[in-house]
Amino acid sequence: MGKDVFLVATLSNTNTMLKSVVIKTVLKKVSASSLEELCAGIRDSFSNPAVKNISEADTTFLDRKAKTFIFEINQGGQTTYSEATVFVADGKGWTIDCVGRPNQKDEIKKIFGFYQKKAGIK
């Protein structure tokens, strides 16, 4: 990871090959454009010919404004499907990326439920 970018957590299911990573970016200055600046970095990765951007959408995550990117990476004849949600909280940029095979899209969506705020927990 780069300066001020940290891998915070990884989840994996070795039986299904599903994975999720949480990446924290320490922001030098938080502003109204912080989310857009983080997303610009992700968009830059789409210039790699192995990466195919499928969609980008505004959303909310944990009651915060967020952006979700769906893309595929093709390397060595294998395709990996990825859904990444990016948001800003407490002066930090957060990226949660969940990946698996293209036929596991429904399972990948379920992984995000792990990160959702549970009722009664503060």
Mean pLDDT estimate for the chain: 88
**67-89: per-residue pLDDT in tens?**
999 999 999 999 999 999 999 99
Task: Say what the pLDDT of residue 47 is.
Answer: 84
Q: Specify which residues 85 forms β-bridges with.
A: 68, 96
Q: How far is CA 18 from the centre of its chain?
A: 14
Q: Looking up tokens 């951007």, which residue turns up? A: 53
Higher pLDDT, 38 or 46: 38
Residue spans per domain, the chain: 5-115
Task: Say what the pLDDT of residue 41 is.
Answer: 84
What gap in Å lies between CA 66 and CA 81, rounded to an integer?
20
CATH class label, 5-115: alpha beta
- 3 burial level (CB within 10 Å; 0-12, 13-18, 19+): exposed
